[in-house]
């Protein structure tokens, strides 16, 4: 791996020159700023550095250039040049070799002592750092974590505590703003936290197709236990196939028994490791900070297992995690990159918002030029505030982004713009297309006993094609979050003895999600059964268009056999359905393949006109046959 000499020096409170001294002693190649080393060798270097006193001389091979001297001293090269000119009356470019006595004085002026190593020996050819291994396109990326759980179990407190103990505030000393996500840096790796806790935001984002969360931390208060929103969070995370780490919080409270919660979790299908399962459970206190380091370690461990990777040079995949209008800065969106790199100056399109990235800040409010995978960035320069969860797209030119935004606005006005939700009626179609094997339901009822009873009944319904699967159940009205979940999971919301909250109804309408409410269990069951058996299949009705008589049969060399007809009633339309009778017998059922009047192809012919008709795959017609024209319409 590649190691920055300055970073390593910082770790031990030493000057970079001390590290170089050790590297030279160990004969490890470097270029005064970084070096390549294997893991086990790094430990050796660390051992050696532990022994170095802070005031030890810097023993290096000469001669040195100002650039090398600056690197050894851990200062800016400009500062070295300034000191050379002002204090030592020496003009030198960054790459001029300094006289030994000048270099020694220079080091003194920066509070260090310089000793020449093997001064008698000429400096060996500049140690060639091993060429840095070509960076693989796909690299490891930090995990993105969402904290979920029941209200008051301490989600916000936990997020705040993690942030306060692990994120250095801005140099300006200001309170770091919450921008929707932040990143903690640990020696073992980085973690990105979405700092809007709860599964509502998680699911709302998912409903828009944004899967930014890699790991869910489920907070359960030690003085309480698994509660309705805990269950919801579990359903939502499981449905999204996001692994769950449990954090039992408030262990600082006197008299709590966190172990009791392990049993409750098991009942929810989260079997803790202590019980032989694979759910990681950490005991923490957001107040005292106890256990948080362990929680972070477990998150990194889980991330390691997930093998999260991204290609910073690849195509951009990024989502908005939060957006708002700022008084001074206009629309500001916090964007999280999943793949590729977001760069200042890029032209973006987010939903119907567009613009060029005028300015970009990191989660600490510091300006940045680019943001790679899992790095949250505040983006300024959009014309309007986008929605959380929307996808970020990059355009070559801002004008193209604007054009596409305008097209989208137009398209959204069109009446055909509909959601992609599932309805009981649409179920059959999806089954026929092989899109569905399971009917996902979200079940709500007035009391827990009823929830269980209703689910019990529904789960028993199945046929060869479809299995009913209840992806979430709960007490109370159908909520917006249920609708979001239904939307992402292609599910139907059913309520028993409850209704839907108004924002749930609005959301359902917008997204085309079906909410069905019932008061009689039998009706609910019957509807679901019918839907599965296809009895809710759309019905078609025949609508008569008209009648036509075949008066003559032509056999034209160019066209083949044509029926010379006279429309006696209504009309006949090209492509319409027909039934041909000979007496009372039906001799053909099919379609009109071609319709001509004189020499022209026509779309339809009305009563009182003559026309030539050919049928789809049938030429057995005779003079005197009667054609009934009709079409099938859905009722």
**Looking at beta carbons only, is 16 or 258 nearer to ligand GDP?**
258
Asked if 152 interacts with ligand GDP (CB under 6 A), we say yes
Rounded CA separation 624/550 (Å): 5
Determine contact, residues 159/193, Cβ cutoff 8 Å.
yes
Among 65, 83, 249, 614, binds ligand GDP (CB under 6 A): 249
CB of 152 to ligand GDP, least distance (A): 4
Residue nearest to ligand GDP (CB): 154
E strand or H helix at 628? strand 626-634
CB of 294 to ligand GDP, least distance (A): 14
CB of 245 to ligand GDP, least distance (A): 16
**Looking at beta carbons only, is 283 or 344 nearer to ligand GDP?**
283
From the number of C-beta atoms within 10 Å of its C-beta (0-12, 13-18, 19+), residue 278 rates as: exposed
CB of 259 to ligand GDP, least distance (A): 17
Among 151, 418, 447, 633, binds ligand GDP (CB under 6 A): 151
**Looking at beta carbons only, is 265 or 292 nearer to ligand GDP?**
292
CB of 219 to ligand GDP, least distance (A): 6
Among 96, 157, 166, 176, binds ligand GDP (CB under 6 A): 157
Asked if 155 interacts with ligand GDP (CB under 6 A), we say yes
Rounded CA separation 20/30 (Å): 8
CB of 159 to ligand GDP, least distance (A): 8
Q: Which one of the spans 26-34, 245-253, 358-366, 374-382 is the region binding ligand GDP (CB under 6 A)?
A: 245-253
CB of 56 to ligand GDP, least distance (A): 45
Q: Which one of the spans 247-255, 328-336, 435-443, 471-479 is the region binding ligand GDP (CB under 6 A)?
A: 247-255
Determine contact, residues 129/36, Cβ cutoff 8 Å.
yes
DSSP type of residue 462:
B
Among 197, 351, 426, 495, binds ligand GDP (CB under 6 A): 197
- With a CB cutoff of 8 Å and minimum separation 6, the contacts of 288 are 252
Determine contact, residues 47/90, Cβ cutoff 8 Å.
no
Asked if 285 interacts with ligand GDP (CB under 6 A), we say yes
Asked if 229 interacts with ligand GDP (CB under 6 A), we say no
- Enumerate the H helices of 171-312 as residue ranges: 199-207, 228-239, 258-267, 292-306
Other CB atoms within 10 Å distance of the CB of residue 38: 9
Per rule CB under 6 A, count of chain residues that contact ligand GDP: 16
Q: Which one of the spans 154-162, 237-245, 328-336, 448-456 is the region binding ligand GDP (CB under 6 A)?
A: 154-162
CB of 220 to ligand GDP, least distance (A): 10
**Looking at beta carbons only, is 67 or 153 nearer to ligand GDP?**
153
CB of 165 to ligand GDP, least distance (A): 13
CA distances from 271 to 197, 222, 246, 292, 624 (A): 23, 17, 10, 21, 79
Q: Which one of the spans 1-9, 146-154, 353-361, 627-635 is the region binding ligand GDP (CB under 6 A)?
A: 146-154
Rounded CA separation 528/520 (Å): 13
Q: Which one of the spans 244-252, 429-437, 439-447, 473-481 is the region binding ligand GDP (CB under 6 A)?
A: 244-252
From the number of C-beta atoms within 10 Å of its C-beta (0-12, 13-18, 19+), residue 500 rates as: buried
Rounded CA separation 176/167 (Å): 9
For helices 521-533 and 448-459, the axis angle rounded to 10 degrees is 30
3-class secondary structure for 324-384? EEECCCEEEEEEEEEECCEECCCEEEECCEEEEEEEEECCCCCECCEECCCCEEEEEEECC
The separation between CA 78 and the C-alpha centre of its own chain, rounded to angstroms, equals: 44
Rounded CA separation 365/103 (Å): 40
Nearest by Cα to 29 from 118, 125, 128: 128
**Looking at beta carbons only, is 250 or 344 nearer to ligand GDP?**
250
Among 59, 236, 250, 344, binds ligand GDP (CB under 6 A): 250
DSSP type of residue 167:
S
Among 61, 153, 199, 344, binds ligand GDP (CB under 6 A): 153
Q: Which one of the spans 279-287, 319-327, 335-343, 417-425 is the region binding ligand GDP (CB under 6 A)?
A: 279-287
Kindly identify the residues of this chain, within the stretch 325-354, that bind ligand GDP according to CB under 6 A. none
Rounded CA separation 221/271 (Å): 17
Among 253, 411, 520, 552, binds ligand GDP (CB under 6 A): 253
CB of 251 to ligand GDP, least distance (A): 7
Other CB atoms within 10 Å distance of the CB of residue 256: 18
CB of 196 to ligand GDP, least distance (A): 11
CA distances from 40 to 33, 51, 129, 224 (A): 20, 18, 18, 46
Among 156, 176, 383, 467, binds ligand GDP (CB under 6 A): 156
CB of 151 to ligand GDP, least distance (A): 5
Strand 114-116 and strand 58-60: the pairing is parallel
Kindly write out the interface string for residues 497-536 of this chain, putting x where it contacts ligand GDP by CB under 6 A and - elsewhere.
----------------------------------------
CB of 106 to ligand GDP, least distance (A): 53
Determine contact, residues 544/623, Cβ cutoff 8 Å.
no
CA distances from 117 to 70, 102, 114, 120 (A): 18, 16, 9, 8
Q: Which one of the spans 62-70, 138-146, 155-163, 454-462 is the region binding ligand GDP (CB under 6 A)?
A: 155-163
Rounded CA separation 298/215 (Å): 11
φ, ψ for residue 56, nearest 5 deg: -60, 145
**Looking at beta carbons only, is 152 or 393 nearer to ligand GDP?**
152
Among 16, 17, 142, 154, binds ligand GDP (CB under 6 A): 154
Kindly identify the residues of this chain, within the stretch 33-92, that bind ligand GDP according to CB under 6 A. none
Asked if 224 interacts with ligand GDP (CB under 6 A), we say no
CB of 213 to ligand GDP, least distance (A): 17
CB of 429 to ligand GDP, least distance (A): 42
Residue ranges that bind ligand GDP, judged by CB under 6 A: 149, 151-157, 197, 249-250, 252-253, 285-287
């Amino acid at each position: 791996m590649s190691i920055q000499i300055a970073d390593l020096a910082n770790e031990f409170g030493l000057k970079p020159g001390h590290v170089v001294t050790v590297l030279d002693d160990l004969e490890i190649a470097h270029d005064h700023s970084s070096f390549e080393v294997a893991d086990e060798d790094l430990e050796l270097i660390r051992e050696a550095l532990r022994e170095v006193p802070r005031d030890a001389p810097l023993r290096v091979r000469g001669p040195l250039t100002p650039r090398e001297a600056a690197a050894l001293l851990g200062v800016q090269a400009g500062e070295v040049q300034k000191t050379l000119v002002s204090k030592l009356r020496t003009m030198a470019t960054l790459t001029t070799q300094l006289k030994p006595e000048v270099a020694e004085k220079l080091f003194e002026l920066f509070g260090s002592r310089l000793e020449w190593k093997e001064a008698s020996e000429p400096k060996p050819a500049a140690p060639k750092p091993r060429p840095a291994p070509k960076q693989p396109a796909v690299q490891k990326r930090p995990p993105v974590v969402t904290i979920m759980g029941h209200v008051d179990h301490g989600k916000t407190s936990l997020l705040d505590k993690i942030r306060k103990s692990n994120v250095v505030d801005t140099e300006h000393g200001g309170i770091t703003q919450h921008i929707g996500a932040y990143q903690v840096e640990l020696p073992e790796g980085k973690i990105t936290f979405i700092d809007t806790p709860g599964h509502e935001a998680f699911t709302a984002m998912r409903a828009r197709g944004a899967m930014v969360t890699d790991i869910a931390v489920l907070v359960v208060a030690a003085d309480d236990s698994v509660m309705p929103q805990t269950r919801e969070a579990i359903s939502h995370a499981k449905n999204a196939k996001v692994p769950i780490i449990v954090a039992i919080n408030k262990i600082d409270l006197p008299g709590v028994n966190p172990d009791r919660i392990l049993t409750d979790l098991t009942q929810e299908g989260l079997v803790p490791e202590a019980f032989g399962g694979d759910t990681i459970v950490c005991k923490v206190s957001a107040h005292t900070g106890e256990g948080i380091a362990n929680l972070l370690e477990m998150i990194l461990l889980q991330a390691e297992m997930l093998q999260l990777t991204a290609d910073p040079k690849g195509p951009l995949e990024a989502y908005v995690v939060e957006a708002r209008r700022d008084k001074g800065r206009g629309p500001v969106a916090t964007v999280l990159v999943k793949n590729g790199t977001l760069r200042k100056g890029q032209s973006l399109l987010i939903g119907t918002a567009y613009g060029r990235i005028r300015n970009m800040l990191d989660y600490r409010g510091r300006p940045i030029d680019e943001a790679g995978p899992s790095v949250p960035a505040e983006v300024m320069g959009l014309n309007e505030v986008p929605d959380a969860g929307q996808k970020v797209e990059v355009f070559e030119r801002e004008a193209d982004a604007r054009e596409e935004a305008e097209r989208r606005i137009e398209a959204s006005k069109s009446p055909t713009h509909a959601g992609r939700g599932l309805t009981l009626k649409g179920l059959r179609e999806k089954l026929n297309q092989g899109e569905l094997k399971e009917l996902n339901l979200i079940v709500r009822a007035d009391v827990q006993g009823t929830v269980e009873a209703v689910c019990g009944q529904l789960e028993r319904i199945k046929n060869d094609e479809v299995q009913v699967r209840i992806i979430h159940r709960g007490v109370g009205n159908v909520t917006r979050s249920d609708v979001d979940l239904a939307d992402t999971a292609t599910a139907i919301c059913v309520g028993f003895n409850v209704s839907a909250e108004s924002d749930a109804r609005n959301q359902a309408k917008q997204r085309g999600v079906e909410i069905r409410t019932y008061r009689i269990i039998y009706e609910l069951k019957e509807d679901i059964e019918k839907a599965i058996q296809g009895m809710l299949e759309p019905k078609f009705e025949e609508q008569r268009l008209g009648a036509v008589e075949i008066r003559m049969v032509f056999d034209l060399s160019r066209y083949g056999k044509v029926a010379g007809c006279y429309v006696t009633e209504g009309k006949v339309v090209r492509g319409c359905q027909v039934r041909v009778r000979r007496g009372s017998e039906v001799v053909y059922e099919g379609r009109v393949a071609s319709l001509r009047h004189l020499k022209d192809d026509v779309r339809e012919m009305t009563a009182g006109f003559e026309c030539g008709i050919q049928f789809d795959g049938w030429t057995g017609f005779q003079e005197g046959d009667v054609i009934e024209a009709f079409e099938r319409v859905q009722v």
